[in-house]
Amino acid sequence: MTNPIRFQRVLLKVSGEALMGSQGFGIDVAVADRIAGDIAEARKLGVEVSVVIGGGNIFRGVAVASKGGDRVTGDHMGMLATVINALALRTSLTKLGVDTVVLSAIPMPEICESFSQRAALSHAGAGRVVIFAGGTGNPFFTTDSAAALRAAEMGAEALFKGTQVDGIYSEDPKKNPHAERYDQLTHDEVLQRGLAVMDVAAVALTRENRIPIVVFSIHQAGGFADILRGEGRATFVSD
Ligand X SMILES: Nc1ncnc2c1ncn2[C@@H]1O[C@H](COP(=O)(O)OP(=O)(O)OP(=O)(O)O)[C@@H](O)[C@H]1O
Ligand Y SMILES: O=c1ccn([C@@H]2O[C@H](COP(=O)(O)O)[C@@H](O)[C@H]2O)c(=O)[nH]1
| Selected binder of ligand X within 16, 61, 135, 223 (CB under 6 A) | 16
Per DSSP, helices labelled H in the chain are: 29-44, 61-65, 71-95, 117-125, 143-154, 187-192, 200-208, 223-228
- Could you tell me which residues are beta bridge partners of residue 100? 129
Report whether 104 belongs to an annotated binding site: no
Task: Look at residue 174 and give the partner it binds from ligand X, ligand Y, none, a contact being a CB closer than 5 to 8 Å depending on partner kind.
Answer: ligand X
Whether residue 136 is annotated as binding a ligand: the answer is: yes
Rounded-to-integer distance, Cα 26 and Cα 29, Å: 10
Q: Give yes or no for a contact between 132 and 51, defined as CB atoms under 8 angstroms apart.
A: yes
The residue within the footprint of ligand X, chosen from 10, 31, 42, 54 (CB under 6 A), is 54
Pick the closest to residue 203 from 149, 138, 132, 134 (CA basis).
Answer: 149
Please give the Cα distance from 57 to 191 (Å, whole number): 26
Q: Which of residues 75-134 bind ligand X (CB under 6 A)?
A: none
Measured distance CA(113)–CA(232) in Å, rounded: 35
User: Closest CB to ligand Y among 103 and 225?
Assistant: 103
Binding to ligand X by residue 141, rule CB under 6 A? no
Residue 139 binding partner per list ligand Y, ligand X, none, with a CB distance cut-off of 5 to 8 Å that depends on partner kind: ligand Y
Q: Do the annotations mark residue 70 as ligand-binding? A: no
Residues at the contact surface with ligand Y, assessed by CB under 6 A? 16, 54-56, 60-61, 74-75, 78-79, 81-82, 135-136, 138-139, 141-146
Give me the least distance between CB of 82 and ligand Y, in Å please.
6
Q: Is 15 annotated as a binding residue?
A: yes
Distance, in Å, from the CA atom of 150 to the CA atom of 97, rounded to the nearest integer, reads 24
Closest distance of CB 172 from ligand X, Å: 3
164 marked among binding-site residues: yes
Annotated binding-site residue? 13: yes
CB atoms within 10 A of CB 134: 28
Contact between 186 and 167 under an 8 Å Cβ cutoff? The reply is: no
- Decide: is 174 part of the binding site for ligand X (CB under 6 A): yes
As annotated, the binding site for UMP includes: 55, 75, 136-143
Where do contacts with ligand X occur on this chain (CB under 6 A)?
15-18, 54, 56, 143-144, 163-165, 168-169, 171-174, 195-197
